[in-house]
Amino acid sequence: MTDRYYVVREDLLPEAIVKTIAVKEMLGRGEAATIHEAVERAGLSRSAFYKYREGVLTLGELERGSIITISIDLEHRSGILSHVLGLVASRGGNVLTIHQSIPLQGYANVVLSVDTAPMKEDRFAFLDELRLQKGVKRAAVVGQG
């Protein structure tokens, strides 16, 4: 069976679908650090989010594709960036570009462009895992293309 898609006006959608979209948008903009935080703010159960997250897309998500740009603040310690890159690779992501600033006050900003199409899990779960890694102070999606 092939996937079928529909365009439906928002006011016709069940509340759980609308809230799932709100959670995905919060996570994508970096307004919530974890899925747990985002679902609490949206008033949605985690189980409902996990049920609908892969099947609900905005038109913008369909147009953008699978490349995301992630801004990450990392502690300036040996091996932290290597660990982050290893995490991307272990999940099936493909790093396209890397830009790292000079460390200031013990932190360096790293901007990664990552092709998430081959990832073994969805990118929201990946971002949650990235944010919880030792040495990662902040991680947020700053662009999608």
φ, ψ of residue 49 in degrees (nearest 5): -60, -50
DSSP 24-44: HHHHHHTSSSSHHHHHHHHT-
State the Cα torsion 99-86-67-72 to the nearest 10°: -50
Q: pLDDT digit string (tens) for 14-68?
A: 999 999 999 988 887 888 888 899 999 999 999 999 898 878 877 666 545 578 8
Specify the pTM: 0.58
CA atoms within 13 A on the CB side of 86: 6
φ, ψ of residue 140 in degrees (nearest 5): -145, 145
Structure tokens at 115: 């092709």
